[in-house]
Amino acid sequence: MCHKGNGNKEMIGLYMKQAWALIKQERLFSMVYIVGTGLAISLVMVLSIVLYVKFAPLYPDMNRGRELVWEYGVYKKADGDGISSSSLSYALLERAYEGIEEVEAVAIYESFDHEDFVQPADRPTQLPVTVQKTNAGYWRVYAFRFLSGKPFGEEAFQSGLPVAVITERLARQLFGTEPAVGQEVKLHFKAYRVVGVVEAASPFMGNCYADIYVPFTVDPEWNRVWNQSGLGPYASVALVKEGASTEAVRKKVAERIAQFNRELQPEGSFDALGAPDPFWVSSFRKYSNQAPEVGPELMRYGLIFLLLLLIPAVSLSGMADSRMNRRMAELGVRRAFGAPRTTLFGQILTENLLYTLLGGALGLLVSFGLVQLVRGWIFFSSPMDVTTTEVSAMALPTGSLLNPWVFLIALAVCFVLNLLSAMIPAWRAARRPIVESLNLK
């Protein structure tokens, strides 16, 4: 058994040496082949990184699998004179989730971005910041890491106290090495007491990202009622308890929305458009007045993945097939000197494995560089989406750059296609009479 194992290792080593020698002999073909394989894999990896950031549990949004997102609603007048769609009122969100046992916490926040300025006490300048106005439940839904202090609680929220949680980056800018907790920060010339300092979220994390977090009850008009019932400036993320059914929560919320809708009649009606949505479904909701089209979106992503893999791979397969046809005479000579078919197939298998591995390594490096270079364009629809943070300074969430399963699947698909394009001619050559193979040029 040991001799057999050693013999297999020696044979594999010989195959690898021969494959590497062939790569060096056919440098142009090898370069095109490796670059083509790398291109196919890099494009798939770029798309997978985008989807990973979009759907995977990443700091501080670590419980995406248990979240229900509700951002929009539609109000229709009974006389057909008008339809309005926007974010939601606080009263409706509170009514929808109040007392539901399966809900652990509900984060309610102002749905539109707040770009503002803080005024440092020690210099006559203003620092641009992103502000997130939230309720106290926000800190139970999202797993922020507090480096000092703690979040503002329900009492501070209900009382509308001017308190703030800031990021470590903003704390350094304002206070240097001094402790930030307990100090005052002036936001839009209003003084807030810092109660906590958190590790900053990535700008790619949507409503989790901000430089400073304050209770929206600080605004005296926070609970103002819009002309259209049920609509307002707020959105919500409900965290369902572990082991509880998200569908059961959705059903209970739908019953309360139906009751609210009945109370509006005959003057008008309210439609939640199927919300609240599981987190991954909410990612497909593009418009405030339309339900998400999940099926077509999934098909579109699947088609993109398929095209990104198959188009370069098919082109490479044609090159490999042409190359194997040119090597028919070589295969015939090797068979004439007694090389068994298994040896020929083993050599071809090793050559394609080496080509694919080199192309995979190149594709992985290219995908990392490409995502870092154009991440602002990939993740944001316009430069206005992020105004207070330089795109060049945006760090992708840890772990998002490599999805091993997607990489291995892309590598395997390229390897199989490349191998088939080489093995089919090799199989034909192995079955062809030796004299006929020798006559091919």
Is it the case that residue 384 has pLDDT exceeding 60?
Answer: no
Distance separating alpha carbons of residues 74 and 171, to the nearest angstrom: 40
Structure tokens at 372: 């870092």
Is it the case that residue 380 has pLDDT exceeding 70?
Answer: no
Q: What's the pLDDT at 34?
A: 77
Q: Please, are residues 193 and 162 in contact by the beta-carbon 8 Å criterion? A: yes
pLDDT in tens, 80-100: 677 888 999 999 999 999 999
52-55 contacts at long range (C-beta below 8 A, 24 or more positions apart): 52/400, 52/403, 53/204, 53/379, 53/396, 53/397, 53/400, 54/283, 55/279, 55/280, 55/283
pLDDT in tens, 335-372: 666 666 677 677 777 777 777 778 778 877 777 777 66
Distance separating alpha carbons of residues 138 and 215, to the nearest angstrom: 10
Comparing 65-69, 245-249, 434-438, the range with the smallest average pLDDT is 434-438
The percentage of residues in the chain with a pLDDT greater than 90, rounded to a whole number, is 38
Residue with tokens 């991954």: 280
Q: What's the pLDDT at 393?
A: 43
Q: What's the pLDDT at 432?
A: 61
Q: What's the pLDDT at 218?
A: 95
Q: What DSSP designation does 206 have?
A: G
pLDDT in tens, 178-222: 999 999 999 989 999 999 999 998 887 888 999 999 999 999 889
pLDDT in tens, 8-29: 566 666 666 766 776 677 677 7
How confident is residue 297, by pLDDT bands cut at 50, 70 and 90?
confident
Is it the case that residue 146 has pLDDT exceeding 80?
Answer: yes
How confident is residue 160, by pLDDT bands cut at 50, 70 and 90?
very high
Query: In sequence order, what are the residues at sequence separation of 6 or more whose Cβ sits closer than 8 angstroms to the Cβ of residue 237?
Result: 67, 68, 69, 70, 106, 107, 141, 207, 279
Q: In this predicted model, which residue has the larger pLDDT, 326 or 219? A: 219
The percentage of residues in the chain with a pLDDT greater than 70, rounded to a whole number, is 71
Calculate mean pLDDT across residues 32-43: 76
Specify which residues 103 forms β-bridges with. Answer: 240
Q: Please, are residues 297 and 395 in contact by the beta-carbon 8 Å criterion? A: no
Q: Please, are residues 305 and 403 in contact by the beta-carbon 8 Å criterion? A: no
Q: Please, are residues 204 and 61 in contact by the beta-carbon 8 Å criterion? A: no
Q: What's the pLDDT at 437?
A: 54
Calculate mean pLDDT across residues 373-389: 50
Distance separating alpha carbons of residues 373 and 382, to the nearest angstrom: 16
Comparing 303-307, 378-382, 427-431, the range with the smallest average pLDDT is 378-382
Q: In this predicted model, which residue has the larger pLDDT, 419 or 195? A: 195
Q: In this predicted model, which residue has the larger pLDDT, 5 or 286? A: 286
Sign of CA dihedral 429, 435, 439, 441: positive
Query: In sequence order, what are the residues at sequence separation of 6 or more whose Cβ sits closer than 8 angstroms to the Cβ of residue 355?
Result: 23, 30, 33, 34, 37, 418
Q: What's the pLDDT at 410?
A: 67
Distance separating alpha carbons of residues 366 and 40, to the nearest angstrom: 11
